[in-house]
Amino acid sequence: MDNDVPDPYTDPLAFGQRLQLLRTRKGLTRDQLGGLVGKSGSWVKGLEIGRLKPPKLDIVLALAEALRVRDLSDLTGDRSLHVDLFVGPGHPRLAAVKAAMNAFPVATARPAPPTSHIRARLAHAWSARHSAPDHREVIGALLPELIRDAQLAARQADTGPARRAAQAVLAEVYSLSQFFVAYQPDAALLWRVAERGLIAAQESEDPYAIGVAAWLTTQAHRDAGPAHFDAADAVNLETLRYLEPLLDDAPPEVLAIAGALTFEAGYTAARRGATGIAWRHWDTARAMANQLPDGHYDPVTSFSQAIMGAHAVTVAVELRQGVESVRQAAAAEAKTIPSRPRRARHRIEEARGYQLDRQPDVALATLEKAHQAAPETIRYNGYAKRIILEEAESKTPARRRRASELAVKIGLLAA
């Protein structure tokens, strides 16, 4: 951290000072931040200079979401209000996964398993992730050995084709690792995994591996905040330019990753508030999904015909279109999404839409469905936590009780 930049987490700083420092670090103007929470730039200025008192909890939570703060107390300054939002508390298996990622055994007498064997184990891991409600626990148990064996296979490959095949498998192991590391309290590890995945994918010269690594890196940049949206677009659009000449004769998996990247471009546009661009990319991605064989479901990106309804909800939510979010939620069929964590993620996006449309009871009911599908997904999702915390302060007793019960289930409140 630059020694000349004040630390917003120093206790004497007022709410407004913390808000200003966090806003500038995210590269947001006052007008931009105000727009994200339905307020004006002058309102943000009033908070920052202390002319206005700190807002109520629902607005504080909206500001925390817009700023992607790690912990609610980082914004409020109240250390008794310690709530992890967009970074989880850390999964019990994180240490073992991190140790495997950090290890660098340059010399070993142990022969690597065949690449085909590692790929079969990797396919099993993806299948287990999609079917398990505790998907982080499942893949966290499998990842350490997968990482070590895939790294070993890449080092021991002794011909060009064997080396490229091993690098493709290694890239996909890193992709699975990134799903585990996301929303864990170790940003440096997340970026190390993403960068290693990009390098392995490039070494493999495999279009699908390259596309997947770019897809995950795009998400990492975008989740880092508005100041990184240009970097997200640069990776995303450059990879699409690379894939485009290959699509006429491409196998389904390459067409699927190109479709997933096309939607990601729309997702980033929606985060920017670029309505026309966002929906245009979604339309293009839907057309690409319709070219896939019936039932094709990409194990990494979930790109498929079934996912496009969920993607439409996400675009509408990111554009703050409450009515459109609800309309798209009604049109989407979550039960057609075969992945439990992805189905839970869709339910959370639906809940955000209902909250935007001022239907908090429906939002809570939808979050309960997300918890039923995959408890670990909602436990690490900042958007879900924000809705639950907000409604736990509701003036309606039944709603407050329902939100509090859900907060206990996901570990936000003590039982």
Domain check: are 72 and 104 in the same one?
A: no
Encoding tokens for residue 375?
């408890």
List beta partners, residue 71.
Answer: 84
Segment 195-199 shows an average pLDDT of 96
Residue ending a domain, among 183, 205, 227, is 205
pLDDT computed for residue 11 by the predictor: 46
| Domain assignment of residue 320, yes or no | no
Q: What is the pLDDT of residues 244-253, one digit of tens each?
A: 999 999 999 9
Identity of the residue numbered 326: V
Question: Which residue range is the domain that position 187 belongs to?
Answer: 92-205
Length of the chain: 415
Structural domains in the chain (count): 2
Q: How far apart are CA 215 and CA 235, in angstroms?
A: 8
- Cβ of 159: how many Cβ atoms within 10 Å? 8
pLDDT computed for residue 125 by the predictor: 96
Domain check: are 34 and 137 in the same one?
A: no
Domain check: are 128 and 199 in the same one?
A: yes
Domain check: are 126 and 181 in the same one?
A: yes
Q: How far apart are CA 153 and CA 51, in angstroms?
A: 62
Domain check: are 199 and 97 in the same one?
A: yes
Residue ending a domain, among 205, 240, 271, is 205
Q: How far apart are CA 136 and CA 97, in angstroms?
A: 11
Three-class DSSP category at 71:
strand
Domain check: are 119 and 22 in the same one?
A: no
| Domain assignment of residue 10, yes or no | no
Encoding tokens for residue 271?
């985060």
Q: What is the CATH number of the domain that holds 38?
A: 1.10.260.40
Domain check: are 111 and 173 in the same one?
A: yes
| Domain assignment of residue 245, yes or no | no
| Domain assignment of residue 130, yes or no | yes
Q: What is the pLDDT of residues 257-304, one digit of tens each?
A: 999 999 999 999 999 999 999 999 999 999 999 999 999 999 999 999
List beta partners, residue 84.
Answer: 71
| Domain assignment of residue 191, yes or no | yes
| Domain assignment of residue 265, yes or no | no
Domain check: are 159 and 57 in the same one?
A: no
pLDDT computed for residue 63 by the predictor: 86
pTM, entire model: 0.81
The contacts of residue 104 (CB under 8 Å, 6+ apart) are: none
The torsion angles phi and psi of 78, rounded to 5 degrees, stand at: -90, 105
Residue ending a domain, among 153, 175, 205, is 205
Domain check: are 126 and 164 in the same one?
A: yes
Q: How far apart are CA 65 and CA 225, in angstroms?
A: 11
Domain check: are 141 and 178 in the same one?
A: yes
Of the candidates 299, 6, 269, the residue with the CA atom closest to the CA atom of residue 127: 299
| Domain assignment of residue 149, yes or no | yes
- Cβ of 248: how many Cβ atoms within 10 Å? 7
Domain check: are 107 and 176 in the same one?
A: yes
Domain check: are 115 and 182 in the same one?
A: yes
Look at 60 and 105; give whichever has higher pLDDT: 60
Q: Worst-scoring range by mean pLDDT, 2-6, 227-231, 305-309? A: 2-6
- What are the angstrom distances between the C-alpha of 303 and each of 90, 123, 261, 292, 309? 28, 16, 9, 10, 11
| Domain assignment of residue 405, yes or no | no
Please check the confidence at residue 208 and state whether its pLDDT lies above 70. Answer: yes
The contacts of residue 202 (CB under 8 Å, 6+ apart) are: 210, 213
